[in-house]
A and B are shown apart, each in its own frame.
With several copies, the nearest count.
Chain A
Amino acid sequence: MNSKTTEKDIVIDIQKIKNDFPILKRQIRDNKLVYLDSGASTQKPIEVINAHTEYFNQINSNIHRGLHTLAEEATNAYEKTRTHIAKFIGGVKTCEVIFTSGTTESINMVAYTWGEANISEGDEIVLTDMEHHANLVPWVMLAKRKNAIIKRIPITDDGRLDLDDIDSIITEKTKLVAVTHMSNVLGTLNPIKQLAEIAHKNGALILADGAQSAPHMPVDVLDMDVDFFAFSAHKMLGPTGVGVLYGKENILEKMPPFNMGGEMISEVSFDRITWAELPHKFEAGTPNIAGVVTFDTALTYLENIGMENIHAYETKLTAYTIDKLLQIDGLKIQGPNNSINRGGAISFTDKNLHPHDISTFLDSKGIAIRAGHHCAQTLMKRMGTIATARASLYIYNDEADIDALYDALIAMRKYFGHE
């Protein structure tokens, strides 16, 4: 990872990258696939696909406790990814990295364990008006169970957090601030470090939902000083069914376990059960071993390009995209209208057309975007819309993809008679 990259340093060999992703050669309805749905899930480079095959051809075995060669190799490969992640997110301890099945499980794990043990009647949990359901429903339901109170940081009309009244929102009553690092709908990047400071000053913990940030930029959980950080492998070139929960050691130590079963216990009798050490306490049963092992290759692929480079490249492409979309009459960007402090999840609405019609039409041109409420119904309400169309970018996208999107949107307005 480069420490600092200016625009002219951006070295992305986009043709090489496109070639690394076999699916991008696919034809969709007679057009070459233009994949602009990476916010939902990214495509996988051939290295990752091969690593998965290699694992099954050479190593496949259950891990831990096994004394034979395959079990040991599988365990080493599995733990290698853990070490890699610990470095990737800023150099934390390996015992602070817990494998889950995805961001959703990571956040639910905190709600069911830390939340059940620490939230009481009258306590306050602070969310924002731009949370994904994964970082909203668990807290709303926890608050219901505990008679706790949900407070929300509002957003401005252009989709930024509005921190004007933050001192009346995060107070000494606050037990947890749960906030997305980057909005999956608006693209907005939130000032996590600043919020962490405010939370800690008030004696609260902070959880950052990194599902949309970890794939696209350097992440340093120590510098941000978050207590929990959650993300998913499938949104960063990795396999499905693998996620991460980072938690500070002293907090994880005190948390009760979540799922219970093999590997997460030390001693079991019908009267007394003791838990295994971190991180195993939180990894019950056979994990997604092949997935975790493969994730290592995805991280290496990203690091070879460089997370700073990726962020810089995507920022440039985001600016290009916003610029193009704003040239289309009747289209509105839902979220920041510029590329400052935002990522490449770009939502838009058409004053005449429902996002579903937009998506169906674009698909007929081979362009994959997402349309709907993006698991953010409360945000939709705030934006005064029922759904948006969303193009979301990654390292395998280029200006040609955006030009194809632009042309298709023009053709669409004609098709539906809204020229």
Chain B
Amino acid sequence: MSENLDDMYREIILDHYKAPRGKKPLEDKNVTSDGHNPSCGDELRMELKVDNKNNIADVHVNCKGCAISVASGSMLAEFIKGKSLEEVKAISEQIKKMLKGEESTITEDIGDLDSLKGVRQFPVRIKCALLAWVTLIEGVDKFEGNGTDSSSTTSTE
């Protein structure tokens, strides 16, 4: 079943993995959030610039990890740029549900993100795909908690 493999490593995922978006560190950030999967060794740093309308003006993701965690972080960077915190939180919860195989109510076009579905066939890899999203939620929560520059560390395990 090499199909299976291609299910997970879809072309679009390999594309993000080979050329991750959001590579450049931000000069002007107000959220820093670190994520970490001890059992994989995956490490992810996320920086957000939230503007005064609570929209995400810019994103930086730096992930040292497997193709799945890198691609998931890259897609996230691409997808959330320009969205409001409200929207971002909603979609993050939906992606988490989608990855865990729970019922999700995604109706909008999530573009590349849809390709993460293939990971569900590889249960041990789900937490790799989750890492960026959980790190994002944690960062936004912290931001909303104090409204100013915030940093946090989280894990999907």
Chain B 103-133 interface mask (CB, 8 Å, partner A; 1/0): 0000000000000000000111100100000
Instruction: Please tell me which one of the listed residues B1, B41, B124 contacts residue A67 in the complex, with CB atoms under 8 A apart.
Output: B124
Query: In whole Å, how far is A362's beta carbon from the nearest beta carbon of chain B?
Result: 10
State whether the Cβ of B52 lies closer than 8 Å to any Cβ in chain A.
Answer: no
Chain A 398-419 interface mask (CB, 8 Å, partner B; 1/0): 0000000000000000011100
State whether the Cβ of B38 lies closer than 8 Å to any Cβ in chain A.
Answer: yes
State whether the Cβ of B5 lies closer than 8 Å to any Cβ in chain A.
Answer: yes
Q: A387-B41, A417-B18 are in contact. Are A357 and B4 (CB under 8 A)?
A: no
State whether the Cβ of A360 lies closer than 8 Å to any Cβ in chain B.
Answer: yes
Instruction: Please tell me which one of the listed residues A274, A364, A386 contacts residue B42 in the complex, with CB atoms under 8 A apart.
Output: A386
Whether B14 lies near A354 (C-beta < 8 A) is no
The chain A residue with its CB closest to the CB of B70 is: A354
**B49-91 CB contacts (< 8 Å) to partner A:** 64-69
Whether A356 lies near B14 (C-beta < 8 A) is no
Whether B4 lies near A364 (C-beta < 8 A) is yes
Q: A354-B67, A356-B125 are in contact. Are A377 and B9 (CB under 8 A)?
A: no
Residues of A within 8 A of B4 (CB): 29, 364
Which bucket holds chain B's interface residue count? 20 to 34
Whether B66 lies near A364 (C-beta < 8 A) is no
State whether the Cβ of A138 lies closer than 8 Å to any Cβ in chain B.
Answer: no
Residues of A within 8 A of B2 (CB): 29-30, 364
State whether the Cβ of B138 lies closer than 8 Å to any Cβ in chain A.
Answer: no
Q: A354-B65, A364-B2, A380-B41 are in contact. Are A415 and B9 (CB under 8 A)?
A: yes
Q: A29-B1, A416-B14 are in contact. Are A277 and B157 (CB under 8 A)?
A: yes
How many Å lie between the Cα of A67 and that of B40 in the bound state? 11
Chain A 49-67 interface mask (CB, 8 Å, partner B; 1/0): 0000000000000000111
State whether the Cβ of A163 lies closer than 8 Å to any Cβ in chain B.
Answer: no
State whether the Cβ of B146 lies closer than 8 Å to any Cβ in chain A.
Answer: no
Query: In whole Å, how far is A315's beta carbon from the nearest beta carbon of chain B?
Result: 30
The chain A residue with its CB closest to the CB of B157 is: A266
Residues of A within 8 A of B41 (CB): 372-373, 380, 385-387
How many Å lie between the Cα of A97 and that of B64 in the bound state? 35
Whether B67 lies near A387 (C-beta < 8 A) is no
Chain A 62-94 interface mask (CB, 8 Å, partner B; 1/0): 000111000010000000000000000000000
**B26-62 CB contacts (< 8 Å) to partner A:** 38-43
Instruction: Please tell me which one of the listed residues B18, B66, B122, B155 contacts residue A354 in the complex, with CB atoms under 8 A apart.
Output: B66
State whether the Cβ of A361 lies closer than 8 Å to any Cβ in chain B.
Answer: yes
Name B's A-contacting residues (CB within 8 A): 1-2, 4-5, 8-9, 14, 17-18, 38-43, 64-69, 122-125, 128, 155, 157
